[in-house]
Amino acid sequence: MGDSRRGGSTKGGEKPPFRKGVLLAVVAAGSFGASAPGVEHFGRGVGPFATACLLYLGALALSLLPSKEGEPAKRSDAPRIVFSAMLGAVIAPAALAWGLQRAGATSGALALNLEAVFTVVLARVLFREPVGSRLVVALALILAGGALLPFRMGSVDLRGGMGLLLVAVATFVWAADSNVQRPLAQRRATSVVLWKSFAGASMSAVLAFAMREPWPDRTAALALFGCGVVGYGVCLRAYLLAQREIGAARTGSVFGFAPLLGAAIAFGLGDREGALVVLGASVLLCAGVVVLAMEPAKPEPA
């Protein structure tokens, strides 16, 4: 494809595709980042697969809203959607729920920055999306920031470190999912969200009941459902539309700002232990994401 998808003017006063794609990626990042503290707070004492089920029930509800953009998902897309749901709607949110309970909302949210790096690396390896030399610098900054987080308590926190490892697993799985679902970006976003959310919620519910996991009370369940509407329904729809405009690597780099928002909210709500370490990690992580997002936009290979 040519540069028409990457910028320039469009007819009828429409936003250039690149600008539109970045704005959609920002919406995806903001909605997901804002939901992370809520998942940590209302998911306390709740099984990880039960949490994933409620989150994707919220995403499922949002996908029922009418929409006409793009072509709806086809029967031939079913294997990819099911695989994507297994990764992004079952394994990743369950690992995140486990990790947040051990690492805390602030550290866990900051560690989500790893998804930006994993997404860009996988996009390069799997789809040969062009990535410049800034990736190495961004990767070093983000990894350095993440390496500080286990020292929030003044020494290595083994429980917190295990939580951060689980969050890292979630970010890698979500990054893999972002690349798996990349060919679905040309489909109608609400259609993809509908079937992915249905498959993910169903599989998570079966696993939660099979493992006899605890479920939340009505208030917490509604709150997690709401987190799913915002952080997974709105996020996934905007993410798919952004991928259509600017590709998986660029969308993933902009999405790296989501954890910083989530960490800021969690910090404001009182999770302030090791404030200096959190500040240092935040500066490094933010610098890494900025470097990654500044990578010049290039057309995808045909």
- What is the reported pLDDT for 272? 66
pLDDT at site 16 = 63
Please say whether the dihedral angle defined by the alpha carbons of residues 144, 150, 155 and 158, taken in this order, is positive or negative.
negative
What region does 35 belong to: left with phi over 0, alpha with psi -120 to 50, or beta?
alpha
Cα 143–chain centre separation: 18
Mean pLDDT in residue range 203-214? 96
User: Which tokens sit at 181?
Assistant: 């679902």
The packing angle between helices 78-85 and 158-180, to 10°, is 170
Domain residue ranges of the chain, discontinuous segments joined by +:
35-293
Residue 130 pLDDT class (50, 70, 90 cuts): low
Locus of tokens 């897309």? 77
Q: Model pTM greater than 0.85?
A: no
> CA 36, CA 261: separation in Å to the nearest integer?
9
Contact 98, 48 (CB under 8 A): yes
**CA nearest neighbour of 63 among 198, 204, 261:** 198
| pLDDT score recorded for residue 301 | 42
The pLDDT, as a whole number, for residue 242 is 85
Reported as a single tens digit per residue, the pLDDT across 149-196 is 767 655 556 677 788 889 889 989 988 887 788 788 778 878 888 899
Single-letter residue type at 106: T
71 strand-pairing partners:
187
Inform me whether the pLDDT recorded for 255 exceeds 80: no
- Write out pLDDT tens, residues 91-116: 999 998 888 888 777 777 777 777 77
**What pLDDT, on a 0 to 100 scale, did the predictor assign at position 92?**
92
Q: Is residue 146 very low, low, confident or very high in pLDDT (cuts 50, 70, 90)?
A: confident
- Dist CA 166 CA 161 (whole Å): 9
Of 38-42, 143-147, 184-188, 216-220, give the range with the top mean pLDDT: 216-220
Q: Tell me the three state secondary structure of residue 302.
A: coil
The CA radius of gyration of the chain, in Å to the nearest whole number, is: 18
Q: What pLDDT, in 10s, does the model give residues 259-277? A: 777 777 777 777 667 677 7
| φ and ψ at residue 187, rounded to 5 degrees | -85, 165
Consecutive H or E run containing 2: none
Q: How confident is the model at residue 5 (pLDDT cuts 50, 70, 90)?
A: very low
